[in-house]
Structure 1
């Protein structure tokens, strides 16, 4: 009889043992698939987190120009950057806020100039107050890189309320030296949580008199040459900071600049995700080795119980490799349905497992123990793909082969008479 048909007959005749073997394989395949799905989800979420969170590097240098900062922002490790060009300006046709407290004697009365604090930025989303949520947009949008070359502004809520301004209105802002006047369109209104000072404060230091404009607009409002107060560059991981430092030395010259790496958010959110991925990879190896060992022991016991059957077949002239092949086919025939059932289980329970390990249902990107105020990372997505199922099937078949061939080596050493004698 063909050993493949004989394997099918054996499985049908031993229904209880076949069911037990199927259950064991189902557990192994489900755990293997879970490990692969978790590993893939962690890799995707880590890539998203590196793009959205990354590591912020702050560069400061006396006399740093917007052109130098922009050139450094186009270097390889940087995927997002922002600059801050602070200038003083004044209002034309609208009234800035003023301190409600009496000006102390000897400070000199304000002459009506420089009452606005304008910041030329490339991306308000990278400003710490906005990225951490303490300062929020109440209407419109922030400044984006697409606003380069446009005269737009984001103003504080108190200034907007005092002058009945809304998104879409146009303001006229005069430079600090009074030589240039620029019309800017309000594209957003933000709320600064800072309260009014409890003591008299110059108008340009009041939180309500702060506005954000593109860098080119700030340069128009500057009295003289506008310089960058600080530039922030976002890179994917801390190990790329050294590469960015080398680029900074090329652009700014060696020494003479402050280079600070802030990787706290990266460690809080990305490192736990990396640990989950490492755990999932280790889990796959442990399950594969443990599965091969368990099934090997089960097959070894089955071979011992079927020694008389093996002796009869060998005495009838059956080749030894076919006997081993029969056991391999029996185990493999149980492994393949287990893979299909594991794929169905992974489709239904995979997302729940991903949420449990990689985050909650609220759209936050980090595990519950490692969430920070910064957001922007998508919730973990766990999906069963053909590649994952294929890897599980390959490992399952490999386990089938190992668990039958190694115990079957003993068959190659025996003769029909010894098998039949030992079986009595």
Structure 2
């Protein structure tokens, strides 16, 4: 008789033992799938956190050119970057703020205009905005999409002084006074820095700061160099790669390189630990499952010595007896995987909720570090790849659990088996 058919008959004849073995296999497969789901959720959350939080690197060098800042920003490890191009400009048709205390003797500040205009590429990476000390109260910030537009972000004190709102147009004079550039207000921000208590030139007042795209800043003051640029990368390892590239481009030791990875450590490292723990769970479950099933199969072999002796005396090959036990166990693996898949689909949200960094605590911590807390929550779902992994591991467990105890079958002799039968 074909050993596969004989395995099916054996499973039907031993219904209680088959049900117990199936139950054990369901538990093993469900735990395996839970481990895979938790690991997948951790990997997805880690990738999302790296994009949303990442590591901010500040590169400072006197006279760093815009081209150098752009070449560093074009590296594949850089997600976002923002150089700063400060210039002085004048006001045309609106009043710049002035110090409440006039300068001694009525002296005026040096030339260059009362406005401190800063050319930026991505306002979200400006340190005051990134750290959360300065925030947008109306409108939006400047983004890379504004590179070819004349737009501006103004401080709320200057806006209140002149009755400005989002959508209004300002006319800003160049440093030399030879050109006037109209800019549309796209955002109003609040800087908590207080005005100086003593006399101060207008461009040192926090309310006279305007943020504009780099191209607009160049038209106002023709800045050729920047002293600072902020780069956002995904991890501290990528920050090291950026440092190596900066050494090559800017000259080793000629710049200041500062890494702010506190938010990354606080939010991403715990997620990585969860992923490593999930991988350990899968390994432990696989080993424990193989041991448990191996012991069960071994006990079955001992209980079925008479059956094995009869089959061997009839000329059945030993490898077919081992194959019969392997088929019996593997046949239970497939329905166990199906049941585990259904259970895993229901337990997926719980696996996502178990990850750190998904709730209000994460948002509060991220806000305290001054980073974007909009990390999308994980949505662990049972994918065909997950089911295939569980099926593969389950079949591997069934193979190990039958082949290892099956070594004893290869050592059996029908005469000794039947002679020992009472």
TM-score by length of 2: 0.91
What do the CA deviations read for 1:6-60 (whole angstroms, capped 9, x no partner)? 2222222322222221121111111111222222222222222233332222111
The match for 2:7 is 7
Identify if the C-alpha distance between structure 1 residues 317 and 256 changes in structure 2 by more than 3 Å, giving closer, same or farther: closer
- Does structure 2 retain, via aligned residues, the 8 Å contact 1:358–1:380? no
1:290 has 2:298 as partner: no
The match for 2:152 is 153
Could you say what secondary structure the match of 2:9 adopts? Answer: helix
Distance 2:115 2:326 in 1: 81
The match for 2:94 is 94
The match for 2:22 is 22
The match for 2:61 is 61
What do the CA deviations read for 1:269-325 (whole angstroms, capped 9, x no partner)? 222222222222222111111110111011111111121222222233332222222
Identify if the C-alpha distance between structure 1 residues 132 and 419 changes in structure 2 by more than 3 Å, giving closer, same or farther: farther
The match for 1:108 is 107
- Does structure 2 retain, via aligned residues, the 8 Å contact 1:269–1:371? no
- Give matches, 1:6-405, under 5 Å: 6-99=6-99, 101-103=100-102, 105=104, 108-109=107-108, 114-222=113-221, 225-361=223-359, 372-374=369-371, 375-405=373-403
Could you say what secondary structure the match of 2:62 adopts? Answer: coil
- Does structure 2 retain, via aligned residues, the 8 Å contact 1:364–1:371? no
Distance 1:74 1:412 in 2: 65
Identify if the C-alpha distance between structure 1 residues 359 and 10 changes in structure 2 by more than 3 Å, giving closer, same or farther: farther
Deviates more, 1:264-273 or 1:384-393: 264-273
Could you say what secondary structure the match of 1:330 adopts? Answer: helix
Identify if the C-alpha distance between structure 1 residues 66 and 411 changes in structure 2 by more than 3 Å, giving closer, same or farther: same
What do the CA deviations read for 1:184-209 (whole angstroms, capped 9, x no partner)? 11111222233445555443233322
Distance 1:215 1:109 in 2: 28
Q: How large is the Cα RMSD of the aligned pairs?
A: 2.6
- Does structure 1 retain, via aligned residues, the 8 Å contact 2:103–2:200? no
State the Cα distance separating 1:113 from its structure 2 match: 6.7
Deviates more, 1:352-361 or 1:213-222: 352-361
What do the CA deviations read for 1:124-159 (whole angstroms, capped 9, x no partner)? 011133234332222222111121132110112222
Identify if the C-alpha distance between structure 1 residues 18 and 370 changes in structure 2 by more than 3 Å, giving closer, same or farther: farther
- Does structure 2 retain, via aligned residues, the 8 Å contact 1:87–1:226? no
Deviates more, 1:129-138 or 1:378-387: 129-138
Distance 1:234 1:319 in 2: 66
- Does structure 2 retain, via aligned residues, the 8 Å contact 1:292–1:403? yes
Deviates more, 1:242-251 or 1:343-352: 242-251
What do the CA deviations read for 1:208-242 (whole angstroms, capped 9, x no partner)? 222210112112222x6453131112223222334
Unaligned runs of 5+ residues in structure 1 are none
Distance 1:104 1:170 in 2: 31
Could you say what secondary structure the match of 1:229 adopts? Answer: strand
Distance 1:111 1:183 in 2: 24
Distance 2:143 2:180 in 1: 23
- The number of residue pairs the alignment matches comes to 421
- Does structure 2 retain, via aligned residues, the 8 Å contact 1:89–1:118? yes
- Does structure 2 retain, via aligned residues, the 8 Å contact 1:300–1:407? yes
